[in-house]
Chain A
């Protein structure tokens, strides 16, 4: 079992979620995260003083899938979230030793 963690731009979330749903993956977790990667540091201006926006708002999507489903999920997310620009996001794959669901 794998934990697929995808960092995406917040504005791509609707598309990514719809694509995953269409591909048959309905369960996911979403986290609000802040960070920065390859996209560089934009400069803001507040009352005449410049400041750098070093961290930006992103979403982190968490999905648990079986090993054979990993490729489909990754392709789906990438296709829906990528716009061809730096800072679009990335996908991390983590091994999951087991899941203990409860209700």
Chain B
């Protein structure tokens, strides 16, 4: 109150001063006194007088009223509550009261428990919404790194994969992955059912199809949504590596396959209580079993490895490799778009990693978010440095890839490592991403327009292994039913590294087998690759039936080096010879 009065009085005094100053400035500028505007002067001094009067009146009111006010109610009513320490509203406690002391304690306990669940659920939803926005990041990144003639096609894949993913996840993906989970007791969630198992090793969960029965529950649906957006990240990764040549009809099947089968099975093994996560509690008793905090492996490496086999099965874009096998650059058409996508991914990633605590009451989330930011910064700087040293320019698109590589690599270890380790993990990720991109182009000869294999595949696996090296034993007690916290090789636990390497190898083996088989099947049935003619004119016109940028002629074809591939028009066809002929044509 007193601050408001001070403000009113000060403003009322300042207004005329400002007015005079402006007049003096005008005088100097015009070299003489400007014509006086009577209306403006009245306005200024009138407003000033009004403010002053309000301030004085308010001050007088506060002076007479304040003492009684202070005595009557809590501090909140008079002075505000800048520290958020008040526990009453209008004199009433916000905690429900019982009739006896025993009742009071019981209702207090219940209120605290409910608040805990609410805080956890709200944090989970906020995180999930942030991750959902990463779909926009992926869409912009991939479209920016590809050519204008395929922009609608690439955007469509990114949008439709979301919708297809939701369908697959709703039908059976969630049920297979999390149908047997009770890891979210923190949300007040009841386990849905049991798993298919061999002995005590869980292989796959089998309840919650179509979100029926017990799954119709606030906590389960919250968890369903949160896990859904993670799955969509996996499904969308190959659309980048396979962009500009993937037949849309074939892509649609991928969306359903990835969300309903490919992603949930391995996901169950690590996150749904499956056998990889059990490696710590039984059998070899390796640390906490396979640990992947937010999904370097489950989400990113799964998408990246599938992207590799998909891109390999598709073959390179026309014009990507010279006849002698050396790669050619096909620059993306909109680098600022790709950079906006990168920033959106960075922001979304804070929910991806931060909310993977499933709990706003788990304050480890600050460590997680800081670690993620550190790793992304070091990743981008490392990629920038390597490119600058190697090729003489700080390559923009690789620097963006480096930032994402740092994020992918820290996704699994973010909760288990110290900040210094996050920096090391990010730096190594930035170097890995550059060399894997170069390897893809120069050695493997697999065409990946956006670097998805290098960013998500290679660094996803690096992130999984990094947990086994850098985990410092400060967090994760009780994880996967092992009482001790997660501790890596550097802190004296080789078992955790063994579990991490095993889960990485299983991931590569499982995902390769499934993807190779799936893409081979697609090739045999609906076909994998767009028609050559469509690829040349652009998939926007060829498959989508419309262009992304109809107002820009140049968008219809690349101006760089690809002219060999464009059908030649015979020289002289359709040209009117001379102005006379032109006039004749015009009828003159």
Seen from chain A, the residues whose Cβ lies within 8 Å of a Cβ on chain B are 34, 44-55, 96-98, 100
Partner-binding segment picked from B47-55, B304-312, B344-352, B389-397: B389-397
Complex CA gap A54/B562 in Å reads 12
Asked, given contacts A47-B398, A48-B387, A51-B560, whether A97 binds B579 with beta carbons under 8 Å apart, the answer is yes
The answer to whether B559 touches A55, judged by C-beta atoms less than 8 angstroms apart, is yes
Asked, given contacts A45-B391, A46-B395, A100-B588, whether A51 binds B329 with beta carbons under 8 Å apart, the answer is yes
Seen from chain B, the residues whose Cβ lies within 8 Å of a Cβ on chain A are 327-331, 387, 390-393, 395, 397-398, 434, 437-438, 441, 451, 559-561, 579-580, 586, 588
Report the tally of A-B residue pairs with Cβ distances under 8 A: 51
A32 (CB) vs chain B CBs: closest residue: B554
Chain B residues with CB under 8 Å of A34's CB are: 559
Asked, given contacts A55-B559, A100-B588, whether A48 binds B437 with beta carbons under 8 Å apart, the answer is yes
The answer to whether B395 touches A47, judged by C-beta atoms less than 8 angstroms apart, is yes
Asked, given contacts A55-B559, A97-B579, whether A47 binds B437 with beta carbons under 8 Å apart, the answer is yes
Complex CA gap A69/B358 in Å reads 78
Asked, given contacts A34-B559, A97-B580, A100-B588, whether A49 binds B327 with beta carbons under 8 Å apart, the answer is yes
Give min CB distance, A94 to chain B, whole Å.
10
Give min CB distance, B24 to chain A, whole Å.
37
Q: Assuming A45-B393, A47-B437, A54-B561, what are 11 further A-B pairs, CB within 8 angstroms? A: A46-B329, A46-B397, A47-B395, A47-B441, A47-B451, A48-B434, A48-B437, A50-B391, A51-B329, A51-B561, A54-B560
A34 (CB) vs chain B CBs: closest residue: B559
The answer to whether A45 touches B588, judged by C-beta atoms less than 8 angstroms apart, is no
Give min CB distance, A87 to chain B, whole Å.
17
The answer to whether A45 touches B395, judged by C-beta atoms less than 8 angstroms apart, is yes
Give min CB distance, A16 to chain B, whole Å.
23
Complex CA gap A36/B292 in Å reads 54
Chain B residues with CB under 8 Å of A50's CB are: 329, 391
Contact of B390 among A48, A53, A96 (CB under 8 A): A48
Chain B residues with CB under 8 Å of A46's CB are: 329-331, 395, 397
A95 (CB) vs chain B CBs: closest residue: B579
Chain A residues with CB under 8 Å of B441's CB are: 47-49
Give min CB distance, B371 to chain A, whole Å.
28
